[in-house]
Structure 1
Amino acid sequence: MVCSLTIASRIHRSRLTSVYHQWFTMSMMNTSSLSSEVKLDKYDQSQIDLLNEKCILVDENDQVIGSESKKACHLMTNIDNGLLHRAFSVLIFDSNRRFLLTQRSDKKITFPGYYTNTCCSHPLYTPLEMESDDAIGVKRAAQRRLQLELGINPLEIPLSEMKFMTRFLYKAPSNDIWGEHEVDYALIVHRDVNVNPDPDEVKSYRFVGRDELLPFLDAENERGSPTTPWFRIMLDKFFFKWWDNLDNLDQFVEPDKVYKL
């Protein structure tokens, strides 16, 4: 009986994914043409080049259904039609339990100049970054982006030192043209690192204590530098209980969960 129920459950999930994929394919038939209509003249070339990267398309349960360009994935026209991709957010805490907060470069196409978690980006549609066991593919992507954005040597953060906590789904516009719609993997690192940021990616960074973070973010918001919506979600839902338990994170690990937020 258990075996029959398990098989039936798998068939049901497979059918749901198939139905979703059929709907998604029909709704996204014009993605390429929509993507090509957006003018990019005002953006920095370093950011334009990244728009050609292939992101991993997923359904709301984080099942892979295909790939699309980073550009297409971040256009609100496509997001409003259901385009959803996989992402990650890294939180780094040093040995003094200070959090590494970053501010996005003003050159960024989405949420320029916003304060955010240590590093946030997307795994690519490649075998290495799609490997699912213990989110190892996402961890490889995080290691790659930490080096690119913050100059952190991969040897300083072995994959084994990245703790995959949970996933959450959210949608947020940056403006009328661009936005985010992601299943976001939350990764925690508790290690000392050397930081040498790329100014095309990171405007500023600082290590902050637990009592400093929210007053600082509120003050910066008043000055016109808001906090990214995904980091605000993390602050409201998960962040501080994780921070308070850096030596005992296993109790909060939810690898099979996708919060719909």
Structure 2
Amino acid sequence: MSPSSSSSPTAASPAASPAAASSEYAKLVASLSPEEILTKWSEITPLKKISGIPRSAGSDSSSNTASQDSDLFTGHDEEQIRLMEELCIILDYNDKPLGAGTKKLCHIMDNINQGLLHRAFSVFLFNEDGKLLLQQRADEKITFPAMWTNTCCSHPLCVPSELGINTNTNTNTSSSSSTTTNTTASNDVNDLATAVEGAKVAAQRKLDHELGIPLTGVPIENFTYLTRIHYKAPSGDERSPWGEHEIDYILILKTKNDITLNANHNEVKDYKYVSAEELNQMFEDKTLVFTPWFKLICKTFLFKWWSNLDSLSQFKDDEIHRLL
């Protein structure tokens, strides 16, 4: 059955444009200069102080290490706590990389409410039958536990390969080894094409880490970049100390039906391939909870992409869609 948006409560609607972001929060984020961001959050390491980053990038701000707030992690899984020390890419409103901040720093709701923004990616993997691979996040996850979402959603690390810089060397970027060499991007971290290449490298790493998909099964050239969305959401109810505030790079991946899956149960509780009709049925099931970014993407974009998997280039743009 062809994917259709007509019967779905998540049906595609006209995409938001950058000019559509008129909320007070959007104005706050837009008002923050790079200097203000690096001063306000002194824990951020400016780009120029990170090995392998071109010296023309970044700021002269100093950085300090923030003390750990152990109360935030009480009762949480030790591996997930460790992953909160990974270094995300801190951004200004226009998606310009400013430096490195811990995953913890980026996801504390108090920081988010003051405008702290970081880079992310979302992968939508479709098999030969046109079915979308969904995952249910593990109960152990600190943010958005047990929620259903798209195939893989995570963050490029603030390292040269995942910023998209052509280092011409193999790079191990985290506990999950990534041996991908980026040979197409420039050294301009402010260039969109460079950032897209970095997001693809990060996506390869996390597809392996979360779902056990080997790098050979998802080569860089098979990813199709479409657009960016900018959104903000608390993790759970408004009382949660955690949340998301990201510029999210959307990556589409079409694979063979026999792709290897070996889920990491510390990351993924369950997974399944679904048709558009089956996804709509899942949305109608009130016992299921979905991540906020997945719901936004479904409402605004997904079904029209799904109906045109063989002609996705028509949807590619350079915009940042502000869904705030």
- TM-score relative to the length of structure 2: 0.71
Residue range with higher mean Cα deviation, 120-129 or 131-140: 131-140
- Tell me the amino acid that sits aligned with residue 76 of structure 1: M
Deviations 1:34-57, CA, capped at 9 Å, x for gaps: 753543131111101101100000
Superposition RMSD in Å: 1.9
- Matched with 1:58 is 91
Describe the SS at the equivalent of 1:65: strand
- Matched with 1:236 is 299
- Describe how 1:238-257 pairs up with structure 2 within 5 A: 238-254=301-317, 256-257=318-319
Structure with greater contact order relative to length (CA < 8 Å, sep ≥ 6): 2
Deviations 1:86-141, CA, capped at 9 Å, x for gaps: 00000000000011011000110011000000000000000000015351111000
- How much does 1:235 deviate? 0.1
- Tell me the amino acid that sits aligned with residue 36 of structure 2: W
Identity %: 43
- How much does 1:24 deviate? 1.5
Deviations 1:226-247, CA, capped at 9 Å, x for gaps: 1100000110111011100000
The 1:181/1:19 distance shift into structure 2, 3 A limit, reads closer
Relative to total residues, which structure has the larger helix share, 1 or 2? 1
Query: Does the 8 A contact of 1:35 with 1:72 survive in 2?
Result: no
Query: Does the 8 A contact of 2:89 with 2:158 survive in 1?
Result: yes
Equivalent residue in structure 2 for 1:170, among 220, 227, 231: 231
Give ranges in structure 1 of 5+ residues lacking alignment: 1-16
Residue range with higher mean Cα deviation, 126-135 or 27-36: 27-36
Describe the SS at the equivalent of 1:68: strand
- Matched with 1:259 is 321
- Matched with 1:187 is 251
Is residue 125 from structure 1 mapped to residue 153 from structure 2 by the alignment?
A: no
Q: Count the aligned residue pairs.
A: 241
Give ranges in structure 2 of 5+ residues lacking alignment: 1-29, 45-64, 165-191
Query: Does the 8 A contact of 1:35 with 1:75 survive in 2?
Result: no
- Tell me the amino acid that sits aligned with residue 133 of structure 1: A
Query: Does the 8 A contact of 1:170 with 1:181 survive in 2?
Result: yes
- TM-score relative to the length of structure 1: 0.88
- Matched with 2:81 is 48
The 1:37/1:27 distance shift into structure 2, 3 A limit, reads farther
The 1:19/1:107 distance shift into structure 2, 3 A limit, reads closer
